């Protein structure tokens, strides 16, 4: 049921899964502390207006809760003509997860929480650890079909508990964009930039500019003004539960056919093959035969480039030979995107193997150039 709300108010659900953004410094380094993030935001006027009526709660639930845990002051978008109060609730996971422990079931949980709360909120922000953030944003881009609202994944390199941090800018930026703009796709916001969720990879473990999108421009740039590149924003297409085997095989000099053959044995149904350059692989007959045998058994093998910037093509003979075995070209998809797209397609039981192979090369969420 839709909840009535003032026209100058935007409601955002913040799903806090864990990650550096809400950690404290302990004896063993950064550690997650339950409810620390929510309590800290409630104590800061930039994130919580004490003069507005709001209900604060530490409740955690798969379905979230319909009451508001905190409220931002009325905010004006720099360079914009409108002004909206962004009212947001925080749904905190218990326990909080380190992003290196994120699994497919967690992607499904996030998608389900968005689905269950879809009618009550105008937009969604997912707070997440940076290590696997781009995998989650890619997965959600395929899970969230027929999306008509903004979904932003964000986090921080330095936690909110530190005096000097990037948590404030990242969270405020994500909330501001989610509260003021309808960008109906899953995106990732970091360091003043909003990226398409399935086009981004983590590039640095220590820079604040931790993510990049080498093959697709940003959707939004935040500076003195918030500039939305509307020409690059696409309209997306029900939430489906998906499960699939999801390994990645990276080619390296000297890799043996026995290694490849063992990797491709049942129950493997799909593999992302990270090739050299523009889709090249060693031209050894035993290696090509191992790949061909797997493809003939119905294993879907997607070839992408090991290069951060580039695309798989048949420009070279070594690339054409690889594709002739039945391997599918993954174009300029990132490893994270190729992995999650393959998992998503293999989970759809109504699709045959040939149909999955065809859809790998078909843009579904703007993931291919």
Residue 107 contacts residue 139 (beta carbons within 8 Å): yes
* Percent with pLDDT over 90 in the chain: 31
Instruction: Indicate the pTM of the whole model.
Output: 0.75
DSSP lists the bridge partners of residue 297 as none
- As a whole number, mean pLDDT of residues 285-304 equals 89
pLDDT at 344: 87
Task: Give the residue, 283 or 266, on which the prediction is more confident.
Answer: 266
Residues 106-142 have pLDDT tens digits of: 888 898 888 888 888 999 999 999 989 999 999 898 8
Distance CA 74, CA 84 (A): 6
Architecture of domain 9-232: 3-Layer(aba) Sandwich (3.40)
From 38-47, 61-70, 83-92, the region with the lowest mean pLDDT: 61-70
The residues that bridge with 190 in the sheet, in sequence order, are 193
CATH topology of domain 248-360: Rossmann fold (3.40.50)
The answer to whether 328 touches 358, Cβ cutoff 8 Å, is no
Radius of gyration of the chain (CA): 22
Measure the CA dihedral 28/32/33/35, to 10°: 170
pLDDT reading at 201 higher than 50: yes
pLDDT of residue 52: 58
> Counting Cβ atoms within 10 Å, is residue 146 exposed (0-12), middle (13-18) or buried (19+)?
exposed
130 is catalytic: yes
- Judge residue 206's burial from the number of C-beta atoms within 10 Å of its C-beta, 0-12 exposed, 13-18 middle, 19 or more buried: exposed
Q: Which of 17, 20, 38, 132 is catalytic?
A: 20
Q: pLDDT tens digits, residue range 14-34?
A: 999 999 999 988 777 788 888
Higher pLDDT, 254 or 285: 285
Range of lowest pLDDT (118-132, 218-232, 245-259): 245-259
> What average pLDDT score do residues 97-111 get?
86
Start and end residues for every CATH 3.40.50.40 domain found in the chain: 248-360
pLDDT range class, residue 66, cuts 50, 70, 90? very low
Region(s) of the chain under CATH 3.40.50.1170: 9-232
Residue 257 pLDDT = 66
Residue 246 has pLDDT above 60, yes or no: no
Which pLDDT score, from 0 to 100, does residue 26 have?
78
* Alpha carbon distance 311, 305 (integer Å): 6
Catalytic residue chosen out of the listed positions 17, 40, 130, 193: 130
CB–CB of 253/285 below 8 Å?
A: no
Asked whether the beta carbons of 84 and 10 are under 8 A apart, the reply is yes
Q: On the CB side of 326, how many CA atoms lie within 13 Å of its CA?
A: 19
């Amino acid at each position: 049921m839709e909840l009535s709300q003032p026209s100058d108010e935007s409601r955002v659900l913040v799903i806090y899964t864990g990650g550096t953004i809400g950690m404290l410094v302990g004896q063993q380094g950064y550690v997650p502390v339950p409810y620390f993030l929510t309590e800290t935001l409630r104590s800061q006027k930039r994130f919580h207006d004490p003069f507005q009526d709001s209900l604060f709660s530490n409740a955690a639930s798969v379905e979230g809760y319909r009451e508001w845990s905190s409220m931002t002051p009325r905010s004006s978008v720099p360079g914009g003509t409108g002004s909206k109060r962004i009212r947001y609730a925080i749904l905190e996971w218990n326990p909080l997860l380190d992003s290196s422990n994120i699994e497919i079931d967690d992607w499904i949980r996030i998608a389900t929480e968005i689905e269950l709360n879809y009618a009550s909120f105008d937009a969604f922000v997912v707070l997440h650890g940076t290590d696997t953030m781009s995998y989650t944003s890619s997965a959600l881009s395929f899970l969230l079909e027929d999306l008509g609202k903004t979904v932003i994944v964000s986090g921080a390199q330095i936690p909110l508990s530190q005096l000097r941090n990037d948590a404030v800018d990242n969270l405020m930026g994500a909330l501001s964009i989610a509260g003021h703009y309808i960008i109906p796709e899953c995106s990732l916001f970091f360091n003043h930039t909003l990226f398409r969720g399935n086009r981004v990879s983590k590039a640095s473990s220590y820079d604040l500019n931790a993510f990049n999108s080498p093959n697709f421009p940003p959707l939004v740039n935040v500076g003195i003004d918030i500039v939305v590149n509307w020409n690059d924003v696409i309209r997306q297409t029900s939430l489906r539960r998906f499960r699939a085997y999801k390994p990645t095989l990276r080619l390296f000099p000297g890799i043996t056919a026995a290694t490849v053959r063992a990797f491709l044995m049942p129950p493997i149904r799909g593999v992302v093959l990270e090739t050299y350059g523009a889709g090249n692989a060693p031209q050894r007959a035993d290696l090509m035969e191992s790949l061909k045998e797997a493809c003939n058994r119905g294993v879907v093998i997607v070839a992408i480039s090991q290069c951060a910037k580039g695309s798989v093509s048949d420009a070279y003979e070594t690339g054409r030979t690889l594709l002739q075995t039945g391997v599918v070209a993954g174009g300029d998809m990132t490893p994270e995107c190729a992995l999650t797209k393959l998992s998503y397609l293999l989970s759809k039981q109504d699709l045959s193997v040939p149909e999955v192979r065809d859809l790998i090369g078909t843009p579904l969420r703007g993931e291919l150039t």
